[in-house]
């Protein structure tokens, strides 16, 4: 099953990611993050919604506060749950809707969980940064192919609560 996901990801079309450029820090009331220049869009009080200028219809970067317990219970799980369980629940909801398939996850320094998979529109990366027992920060990046992971590699480690 994993090989099929990799095949889908490698066959995705669309523009390749441009080189990573210097970053710009963006903050809301809940979070701060850095994104390479070229990502632009809406910065609201509680969320960020960006597209990249070279592929505005094919790229998507959002960041906002998330209710970890709601993700788990929506997927039929029980609370409390680990951050790994929350990530599995998130992707299971996408799979149930036939919108995505998880390929891999990894734990980051500080307890965040990073994931990569396919989405109906191409490749997708999702990050969960736990903030307290049941709340966290969710960051989603969608792009037409996996060359965009170089941008994800810059954004994800920079995400933090705005405290």
Q: What percent of the chain has pLDDT over 90?
A: 90
pLDDT at 10 over 90: no
User: 108: how many CB neighbours lie within 10 A of its CB?
Assistant: 14
| 45 domain residue, yes or no | yes
pLDDT digits (tens, 9 = 90+) for 34-52: 999 999 999 999 999 999 9
pLDDT band of residue 80 (cuts 50, 70, 90) is: very high
What is the domain-level CATH number for residue 72? 3.40.1000.10
Give the mean pLDDT of the chain: 92
Of 9, 49, 22, which is closest to residue 148 (Cα–Cα)?
A: 9
Tally of structural domains, the chain: 1
Confidence of residue 163 (pLDDT cuts 50, 70, 90): confident
Place of tokens 């701060």: 32
User: What band does 2 get if pLDDT is binned at 50, 70 and 90?
Assistant: very low
The verdict on residue 116 lying in a domain is yes
The answer, yes or no, to whether residue 8 has pLDDT greater than 80, is no
Indicate whether 37 belongs to any domain.
yes
Find the mean pLDDT for residues 60-76: 98
Examine residue 17 and state whether it is found in any structural domain, yes or no.
Answer: no
Identify the domain containing residue 129 by its residue range.
Answer: 2-12+23-161
- pLDDT for the residue numbered 13: 83
For residue 18, being part of any structural domain is answered with: no
Supply the pLDDT for residue 12: 57
Measured CA distances, 162 to 26, 28, 29, 47, 153 (Å)? 10, 7, 6, 12, 20
Query: Is the residue at 91 inside a domain?
Result: yes
Does residue 124 lie in a domain region?
yes
From the list 147, 146, 111, the residue with the least C-alpha distance to 132 is: 111
- pLDDT reading at 9 higher than 70: no
């Amino acid at each position: 099953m994993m090989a099929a996901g990799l095949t889908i990801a490698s066959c995705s079309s669309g523009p390749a990611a441009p080189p990573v450029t210097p970053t710009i820090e963006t903050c809301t009331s809940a979070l701060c993050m850095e994104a390479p220049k070229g990502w632009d869009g809406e910065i609201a009080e509680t969320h960020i919604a960006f597209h990249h200028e070279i592929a505005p219809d094919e790229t998507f970067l959002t960041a906002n506060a998330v209710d970890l317990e709601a993700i788990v219970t929506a997927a039929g799980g029980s609370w409390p749950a680990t951050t790994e369980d929350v990530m599995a629940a998130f992707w299971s909801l996408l799979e149930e809707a036939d919108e995505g398939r998880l390929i891999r996850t990894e734990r980051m320094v500080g307890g965040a969980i990073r994931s990569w998979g396919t989405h109906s529109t191409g490749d997708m990366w999702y990050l969960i940064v736990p903030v307290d027992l049941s709340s966290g920060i969710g960051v989603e990046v969608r792009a037409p192919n996996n060359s965009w992971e170089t941008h994800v590699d810059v954004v994800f480690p920079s995400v933090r609560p705005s405290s």
